[in-house]
Amino acid sequence: MREESTLIKQILDFAQEESSVRAVALNGSRVNPNVIRDIMQDYDVTFFIRNFEDISYKTNPNWIKRFGELIIFQQNDFKDGSYVFLMQFKEGVRIDLSFKNVMKVDEVIKEDSLTKILLDKDNIIPALPLPNDYTYYVKKPAQKEYDTLMNEAWWIQTYIAKAIWRDELPLAKYMFDVILIDCIRTILSWYIGINYDWNINVGKCGKWFKRFLPESIYNEFITLYPTIDYDEMWHTLFEADKFIRKIGSVVAEKLGYTYPMNDDMNVTEYLKTVQALPQNAAEFCPTKELNEIYVENVEKLFE
């Protein structure tokens, strides 16, 4: 695998030879002082080009061969006309190379605090502060954002319950593994944000949770990914409820918001009802025993 200095030189040599490329920036983990270096790090590079209407880089991508032998690449377009090549090379190097309009360079570089200018042919880019990840910090939610997220966290569980009851595993897994877990990740991000005074980047999809959460909470979180066994899914769903209740209540208290206790109680009752329904049930009706158990234990939900 090529060393970073070698690859950066190749990128800059190419940019110097291309008259349309006026500036080059390096973004992402390669310039983030808080990231632990490893061999899987991408090179996030931006070429700022003039004659932006010229799309020859897209129509004739033979230029990629200069950077190595590809395994696969993907080319994506953005609404503003910019585009990116995501390139995975056989030796392990990955380059995500974006092409953006040089006329918008001032606007673009302000969007990402993890930016280091490698080349500026026309001296048009003002001096930048040292790269840092403040634009990626967890943002403190407003009351409405908190309420909306918590509502989603409880609402989506009704889908999970119905999908389990109907034996619709793909739907149950998607709603649990993707939608519900994403809600929980957001709540955890806020929890971490509070503890770090909102000066913290938890990484894409919470990939750095292990660094910033107490070990006990992190271990609780990672047990919330269920298997394909329905009994285990029900068990994990109720464990997820406890976790949402615990972390969501702390976040609400710290922010001065109100935890949605009624949603919690009502959905928990609904889940228990669906769990107890026979597969051939002709009507939706909680059993007497279930109601008695629920009433007896409802206070324990918030212990």
The pLDDT score that the predictor gives to residue 300 is 52
Q: How far is 197 from 82, CA to CA, in rounded Å?
A: 35
List per-block mean pLDDT (blocks of 10 residues) for the chain, which spans 303 residues.
90 96 95 88 95 90 94 94 95 96 92 94 91 92 98 97 94 96 98 97 95 96 90 95 97 97 94 86 61 49 49
Question: Which pair of tokens denotes residue 56?
Answer: 């020859």
| Domains defined for the chain, CATH in brackets | 4-135 (3.30.460.10), 137-302 (1.20.120.330)
74 strand-pairing partners: 86
Identity at 224, one-letter amino acid code? L
Give the sheet arrangement for strand 83-89, strand by strand: 70-77, 83-89, 94-101, 43-49, 21-27, 115-120
Q: How far is 156 from 237, CA to CA, in rounded Å?
A: 11
Q: How far is 151 from 146, CA to CA, in rounded Å?
A: 9
